[in-house]
Amino acid sequence: MPGLERIGVQSRFILLMLLVSLGSILAIGLIGYRAARTAITHAVQNHLQSVRYSKTQGLLAMLEALRDQVISVSDGKMATEGMVNFKQAYRGLEGESLDADQEQSLKDRYERWYLPEVARHLGGTPVTEQYLPLDPRQRYLQYHYGVADGAAEAADGHGAPEPAGTGDDSLYRIAHDALQERIARIAAMFGYEDFLLIDDDTLEVVYSLRKRPDFATSLRNGPYSSSNLARAAEALSRARDRDAFKVVDTELYRPALGKPVGFVVSPIFNGPEMIGILALEFPVDRIVRLLTGNYQWEREGMGQTGECYVVGPDFTMRSRSRFMWEDREAFIAGLRTSPLTASVVDQIERQDTVLNQLPVRTISTEQALRGREGLTTLADYRGVPVLSSYGPLDLDSLRWAVVAEMDVEEAYRPIHEYARRAILAATALAIGTTLLALVSSWLLVRPLKQLSAAARRIGAGETAVSVDLRTRDEFGELARVFNVMAENLRRQRTELEEKARENQELLLNILPASAVELRRDGDEKATRQFADVTVLVAEFGGLDGPAGLGNDSRAMGLVGDLIAACDEAADRCGVEKVRAVGAMYLAVCGLSVSRPDHAARSLLFARELARIVAAFNREHGAPLTLAAGVNSGPVVGGVVGRHKFLYDLWGDTVAIASRLAAGGRDGIHVTKPVHDRLSDLYAFVGPTAVELRGQGTVQTWRLERPTEA
């Protein structure tokens, strides 16, 4: 593989282990992820299918129960006798009419209550003449039994009907009083919102429990002839079949002020003769509660976004939307940003319901209304991707689409959580594998690295090199051969270095390092100029006084100790000793090693000398004094002699420092170059003009408290 030869053995081993382990982890992870995705997907799909099927069966059972009830009631004596009596009483109103005040009162009721409510709920501008009955009998009944006595205001589909007909003394009043309470009890018992008796010949509503504005109107040519109820009644009147019935799809029913209303209708027979039609308004809220689990979606296992709803053949909802129920404002705001027209959204907002208004034309609803079942993924009526289970609901001529859906994000959330955990586990395994590979490769490559490191040390000049490998494999044998070779090289190197060290020591004993470099270069007469160094000249007073150091041998020993202490201080401060002759000590900083802080180091060394002298006097009771001169500037250094060597410095910088030390003034004295560099760090006394032989007048400063740390 190109470039692989440039990778180390350990890296290759780690790479190999990582590739093998990560490949295995990846393969197992993919297999597990796909298996989990399939299992979770099937679980979600099966749950949606189960919910949709159970809701379909429950809704079908409810509608079938309504069918059975309407057939049972229509075959009963109450419906038969009531239909006969109400038809006869209705026809007996021929010639009845309202006076002018009653006519105006009826019209006012339409204009002041009914039509404004219709406009508020359904929009538009309804015209009174389009809704006010034309037949005098119809207006008569609406006045006495509906609007006139306030029944219309209570006939909104939720309240109990008001007592009606108090101003009527016709046969209709007798028939009405005989059946009203019985019908009201039956309606309350079975949950019917309204109970209508319709003439099979004229399709006139001869009786209504709620006395809504459809009471006493003709469903054939009256204001509500285009309603679903009118079409179903027309179909039954033509069929004239005792066993016929119809479930009337819900619609925004104007007599109910635009609220969604549905009916089940059945013919009424008196013996072999069809005498009328019974229409029972079934409770839409019962359907809604069934589909929503009484608005407890999560308790039914639908999570946070799942719902089951019904769509009619006009592709509008027949049940409530979960999202409008849970957050109405956000739902309406979302609809306003959708492709829906503003009028539809306004209508939904006015009615506070999506029933028979919200369009849901998706693949699911289209397929279900064609009688097909299935499961698919699509964008729902909110535009959100969902997992959708769909199927039809068929009863008589009614077909609805039942759809159970859940957001894809929530449906696949367990898969994503599994993937996240799998990635974390794979990462942990990869890290563990990497650590294992590192340890294994380290154990494998360690002998090679030891041999390689030992070879580099030998190449760098080390001699005492050996490899401690006690294994009996090939690495151990190679280590033993290497150690023998290293020992031979060390022995030869030691002999050569011993001779070189003897020569070097001889030179270093008499010359500074810079002088040794000049000698190493082979130029015995060479000198070197140094542009900026600091020279220190120290004069120790009291070394030869009568009350000084005692006899000559003791004095020599003490002077040797003093000079040794000065040498140690010079090494600590980074200062080079040039020579020490008698009571004079010459040192320089920045000569062999370039030091930007050579002035500071030299002054630090001078303070060390002062401390050494003070300690020496305390320990030995000696009266030694220190006079030091410190000066910075250029110097010339070189080796003097051909056979016996001496290194020395020349120049005004050395001369001024020497004369400052030899002037008989105790303390540490510095020149202007030193003072300018260190005035911020040390306290000086001065300046003092000093006349130096051969140098003229020189300004000097004395260091305050030189022995303080």
Confidence grade of residue 617 (pLDDT, cut at 50, 70, 90): confident
**Residue 515 pLDDT:** 55
pTM (2 d.p.)? 0.59
Are residues 598 and 534 in contact, defined by beta-carbon separation less than 8 angstroms?
A: yes
Are residues 250 and 241 in contact, defined by beta-carbon separation less than 8 angstroms?
A: no
State pLDDT tens for residues 660-674: 887 667 888 888 898
Mean pLDDT of the chain: 82
State pLDDT tens for residues 431-455: 887 788 777 777 776 776 777 777 7
- CB atoms under 10 Å from CB of 437, counted, come to 20
Are residues 536 and 630 in contact, defined by beta-carbon separation less than 8 angstroms?
A: yes
**Residue 161 pLDDT:** 42
What the block records as the tokens of 86 is 């109400």
**Residue 235 pLDDT:** 92
State pLDDT tens for residues 406-439: 999 988 888 878 778 878 887 887 788 778 877 7
Per-domain boundaries in the chain: 76-282, 461-510, 513-703
For 76-282, CATH number? 3.30.450.20
Q: What angle do helix axes 474-510 and 413-459 make, rounded to 10 degrees?
A: 50
Above pLDDT 70, what percent of the chain? 86
Sign of the Cα torsion 418, 421, 426, 432 reads: negative
Are residues 359 and 316 in contact, defined by beta-carbon separation less than 8 angstroms?
A: yes
- Name the CATH architecture for the domain at 513-703: 2-Layer Sandwich (3.30)
State pLDDT tens for residues 150-159: 444 444 444 4
Burial of residue 390 (number of CB atoms within 10 Å: 0-12, 13-18, 19+): buried
Q: DSSP secondary-structure letter at 317? A: B
**Residue 225 pLDDT:** 93
Burial of residue 12 (number of CB atoms within 10 Å: 0-12, 13-18, 19+): middle
Judge whether 76-282 and 513-703 match in fold.
no
State pLDDT tens for residues 492-549: 767 766 776 665 555 555 555 555 555 555 555 557 888 888 999 888 887 765 444 5
**Residue 481 pLDDT:** 75
**Residue 543 pLDDT:** 73
Cis check: omega of the bond before 116, within 30 degrees of 0: no
523-553 b/e with 16+ CB inside 10 Å = b?
Answer: eeeeeeebeebbbbbbbbbbbeeeebbeeee
Are residues 133 and 217 in contact, defined by beta-carbon separation less than 8 angstroms?
A: yes
State pLDDT tens for residues 200-241: 999 999 999 999 999 999 999 999 999 999 999 999 999 888
User: Distance between CA atoms of 665 and 337, rounded to whole angstroms?
Assistant: 99
pLDDT over 50 at 590, yes or no: yes
pLDDT over 90 at 458, yes or no: no
**Residue 521 pLDDT:** 54
Confidence grade of residue 359 (pLDDT, cut at 50, 70, 90): very high
Largest CA distance in the chain: 167
Question: Beta partners for 270?
Answer: 273
